[in-house]
Amino acid sequence: MTSRMIRRGMLVALAALIVAVVPALAAVRKAPSRGSVTAVHRPDLKPNRDLGQRDDLRWARSTTRIKSGGALTLRNLTRGPTPQTPDTPNEIHNFSIVASRQVPRTQLQALDCRICKAINARHNFDDTTGQPRIAVVNRGRKGIDRPGDSVAFSGTRKARVTAKPGRTLRFICAIHPHMQGKLEVGR
């Protein structure tokens, strides 16, 4: 084998590496360094349509993009009692990271959500006040990076996203399991 053949072989290998790596890097998109996840609801009367008692608590956006290391603001705009908790003056929500397979897909799974019970148990809610004794449950690295991480909030709370760029984290509210969203972590 001549040195020229070896050099050509190396060039071919280098080209193949570039072809493989460049799209992989491009796939991890740039993302903003701040993001927010906001709990909202609109239980208003719609004349001749709806008394407005449905539990339509939801996250304002289904997907939030944020940079790895970015600051996430959790905001609660669900004021006052809701049909589900008529005696609670201000609804509490859990921003809870779960594995994709743990996201409830049916009404039955949402109403009998085993992972939600496990998450809520870790927050150790006080039966009398309804407040969590442990507001932040951390798994893995500090910050939001993997299933098991969960933050309970009734007002506004900040959290740092420490998952690696390219990860997509699924989150639910463990108290209202039909509240579901995705956190796309960019670079």
Residues near Cu ion (CB under 5 A) are 93, 173, 175-176, 179
CA distances 85 to 55, 130, 164, 170, Å, are 10, 11, 37, 25
- Measured from the CB of residue 48, what is the shortest distance to Cu ion in angstroms? 29
Q: Residue 92 or 163: which CB sits closer to Cu ion?
A: 92
> In the bound complex, what is the minimum distance in angstroms from residue 89's beta carbon to Cu ion?
15
Q: Based on CB atoms, which residue is closest to Cu ion, 151 or 175?
A: 175
Q: Give Dmax over CA atoms of the chain in angstroms.
A: 86
The three-class DSSP label of residue 41 is: coil
Minimum CB distance to Cu ion smaller for 6 or for 77: 77
Quick check: 141 and 162 in contact, CB under 8 A?
yes
108, 109, 110, 111 alpha-carbon torsion, rounded to 10°: 50
The CB-of-31 to Cu ion minimum distance in angstroms stands at 25
Strands (E) located in the chain: 34-40, 58-59, 63-67, 71-76, 93-98, 136-137, 150-153, 156-160, 168-172, 180-186
Cβ nearer to Cu ion, comparing 67 with 93: 93
Q: Measured from the CB atom, is 93 or 122 closer to Cu ion? A: 93
Shortest Cβ 187–Cu ion spacing (Å)? 30
CB of 110 to Cu ion, least distance (A): 12
